Structure 1
Amino acid sequence: MNKKLDRRKKYTRMVLKDSLINLLKTNPISAITVKEICKKADINRSTFYTHYSDQFHLLEQIEEEIIADLNSYLNQYNFEQEEEALQMTEKLLEYVVSKYDICQTLLNENADHSFERRVMDVARTFLIKNWMSNNEVDPDISEYASTFVTSGSIYVIKHWLANNMDQSPKQIARLINRVEITG
């Protein structure tokens, strides 16, 4: 009996998440209501409130899952040397490819910018650590330099997603790393 409830709970959360993601493709989060999410998911509003407090809470949970999954994916690899920066960037882009629909939606103009900031934090952790240690950057400006490099990388990724990933992850990784290394 407990397994059945678990599956039902997982299914409910999945359809609610999918419904919100579909609505985010055309509407900003501030314009989406719980009623719309429930209608699209064919779920009762009371069921929605059993799992989430509002649409912002649901979006936050989606973002947290993606960020945790991204961190877990990237932590599988050991990127300590400068020549591994390209591989790390490529792995990050391969992850984006594997989650294309949700990443494109969460990084589009209708999305809340919190996901973008969270991705920047992950990128800063994995990309900048290597870049900062291999470039002579004044510690007083390192935070500014890392923000500059990371935000530029995120916007390259957003542009790439908007163009339906018209280049391979390897090509985009080379571009990002070339800019980071010469920046």
Structure 2
Amino acid sequence: MKLSGHEDLRVQKTIQSIRTAFSVMLLKEDYRKITVTALCRQAVINKKTFYRYYDSVDALLEEILSEFSKGYVDTIADYRVPEDLDKINAAFFHYAVHQGPLYEKILCSVSYQHLSSHLVEEYIAKSWGKAPAFQNLSPGEQELFTTFIHATGLSMYRQWVEGGKKLPVEEVIDITNKLLSQGVAGLLPSNNPENGQ
């Protein structure tokens, strides 16, 4: 249940308790093993209280994923694709770094890859999906293109995290920008003056 801030203080505390307990559990164990019973025990509430606010554990997770996705999509809302790909990539890394361990785990853990894919698919639909250059591609080219964007940025982030963040985030952004822009430039024309067009 998304809070508007106008709810009764007890409701706010209950929702916060559920979300905190869920976040703690997600960091400790595989999502598929989290049950409503275990979540209620962790949140110190009963099942009836949980079901008053959420239909299922999946609904709670979906809410959290939507908030993560919305935050990032809002951050890049004014950027144009493909012209601002470097800014979009930098925004992704900066956003991810500031979201904390739960976001990092969802993006990096093998058992959560289907969840992180959801975040990336939403971003692609709201950004690239509306870009005129992307619309000019055939459906087959669009599929390959979105796979490239999805796999490249996310894989680079995952590798950086799994490798212990040996490079400063700004250096990682610079490297991924070079790799992404060269790959994208091969398929999409750009009106970016830096590309000589």
TM-score normalised according to structure 2 size = 0.74
Q: 1:166 to 1:79 in 2, by over 3 A?
A: farther
Cα distance in 1, alignment partners of residues 149 and 29 from structure 2: 29
- 1:162 to partner: Cα distance: 3.1
Cα distance in 1, alignment partners of residues 73 and 165 from structure 2: 22
Using CA pairs below 8 Å that are at least 6 residues apart, which structure has the higher relative contact order?
A: 1
Q: 2:35 aligns with which of 14, 17, 33?
A: 33
Cα distance in 2, alignment partners of residues 4 and 142 from structure 1: 43
2:79 corresponds to 1:78: yes
- 1:27 to partner: Cα distance: 1.9
- Counterpart residue number, 2:146: 146
Structural mapping, 1:30-109, within 5 Å? 30-75=32-77, 77-79=78-80, 82=83, 84-107=84-107, 108-109=109-110
Residues 90 and 173 in structure 1, CA contact (< 8 A), matched pair in contact too: yes
Q: Which runs of 5+ in 1 are unaligned?
A: none
Identity percentage of aligned residues: 18
Q: Which runs of 5+ in 2 are unaligned?
A: 184-197
- 1:33 to partner: Cα distance: 1.0
Residues 123 and 150 in structure 1, CA contact (< 8 A), matched pair in contact too: no
Residues 86 and 177 in structure 2, CA contact (< 8 A), matched pair in contact too: yes
Cα distance in 1, alignment partners of residues 80 and 141 from structure 2: 24
Aligned pair count reads 176
Q: 1:6 to 1:66 in 2, by over 3 A?
A: farther
- 1:173 to partner: Cα distance: 2.0
- Counterpart residue number, 1:119: 119
Residues 33 and 55 in structure 1, CA contact (< 8 A), matched pair in contact too: yes
Tell me the amino acid that sits aligned with residue 111 of structure 2: N
Residues 23 and 32 in structure 1, CA contact (< 8 A), matched pair in contact too: yes
- Counterpart residue number, 1:162: 162
Residues 34 and 55 in structure 1, CA contact (< 8 A), matched pair in contact too: yes
- 1:133 to partner: Cα distance: 4.1
Cα distance in 1, alignment partners of residues 124 and 137 from structure 2: 17
- 1:100 to partner: Cα distance: 2.4
Tell me the amino acid that sits aligned with residue 78 of structure 1: Y
TM-score normalised according to structure 1 size = 0.78
Q: Which deviates more from structure 2 when the two are superposed, residues 152-161 or residues 121-130? A: 121-130
Deviations 1:105-129 (A, max 9, x none): 222233261x312222244357757
Q: 1:130 to 1:81 in 2, by over 3 A?
A: farther
Residues 38 and 44 in structure 1, CA contact (< 8 A), matched pair in contact too: yes
